[in-house]
Amino acid sequence: MKTKFIALIFFVFSDSYLFGQETSDWGYDSKWQVRPSIGLNVPLTKLFNSTATDNLIDYHDGTTYYLQVFAVSWFFHKHWGVEFNYQGSSSNRIAGQKRGKRFSERIQNEYQDGYFVTPSSGAFYGDENIISGNVERGLIGIIYRKELDRFFIHPKFAIGVTSFYTDWGNATLKEKNSNTLLQVNYSTGERPNDHFTTAASLIMGYKLSKRVFWNFEIMTSYYNTNFTFTKEIIDLTTGVSTITEYSKYKKDIFTLSLGTGLIIVLK
């Protein structure tokens, strides 16, 4: 995902250098702006299936907070510009230790009547990145600006990628009153999951000075997920295994984001 974003940034900045050689008498003076912000992501649709593997997804179906660690806008026209931004979102519900514990409890409850259960999962070994959080989102899009004295409004449409990870899970099952020993594995087959995303937003605010603006943003975004956890049962005595589809996550995900921060004029 990060490789794709770097390529997009290079494309935008290389073009901006060529156009930036021209001068004009536009009334809207600022051409380069950065926009750090914080906010909340409120899901309008749900991803989870109420199965054990929900806890193997580095994601939360409830409200999460986000940190927009990087956002830069380049206005190539009085009213029109391009913006690239990168956000990381998280929630204490996504913490690996908590997800791992919930997965273990679900597997214990599912098999404990007939087996002695020893569960484990990759969620226990995941560390949250303090910058990118658990769910990463990078967007690039067209921004329009309208300014009236100290007030401004910036509608924007963007495309990009939303990315999060899936973990593995397993359990060793020793059948009660028997020598039967099984291993159950849960996996999607690939850990990172990148999802093409579209987003529309409205940024509005007030100019505190010529160089610093306060802004509030409301955004709606959409992406589609399509991944499946399989369940593999291996008889550790005979080596025979069977694989079945356990839980499919094919969903349309709509999210409402509300954020606030500063716009800093660079040039």
Q: Give the alpha-carbon dihedral of 122, 52, 243, 225, to 10 degrees.
A: -80
What is the C-alpha to C-alpha distance for residues 126 and 123, in angstroms, rounded to an integer? Answer: 5
Structure tokens at 26: 């536009």
pLDDT above 70 coverage of the chain, percent:
87
Which residues, at least 6 apart from 10, have a Cβ–Cβ distance to it below 8 Å? Answer: none
Judge contact between 86 and 69, C-beta under 8 A.
yes
Instruction: Evaluate if residue 1 carries a pLDDT over 70.
Output: no
Take residue 47 and report the two structure tokens written for it: 């991803």
Residue whose C-alpha is closest to residue 57's, from 244, 194, 251, 191:
191
Q: Return mean pLDDT, the chain.
A: 87
pLDDT recorded at residue 124: 82
Q: Read off the pLDDT of residues 194-214 as tens digits, 9 standing for 90 and up.
A: 999 999 999 999 999 888 999
113: three-class secondary structure by DSSP = coil
Q: Is the confidence at residue 15, as pLDDT, over 60? A: no
| Angle at 253 (CA atoms; ends 252, 257), nearest 5 degrees | 155
Query: Which domains are delineated in the chain?
Result: 2-265 (2.40.160.20)
Which tens digits make up the pLDDT trace of 130-163? 667 789 999 999 999 998 888 999 999 999 999 9
Q: Write the DSSP symbol of residue 166.
A: B
Question: What is the pTM (predicted TM-score) of this model?
Answer: 0.82
Where does the pLDDT of residue 23 fall: very low under 50, low under 70, confident under 90, or very high at 90 and above? very low
Contact indicator for 200, 222 with CB cutoff of 8 Å: no
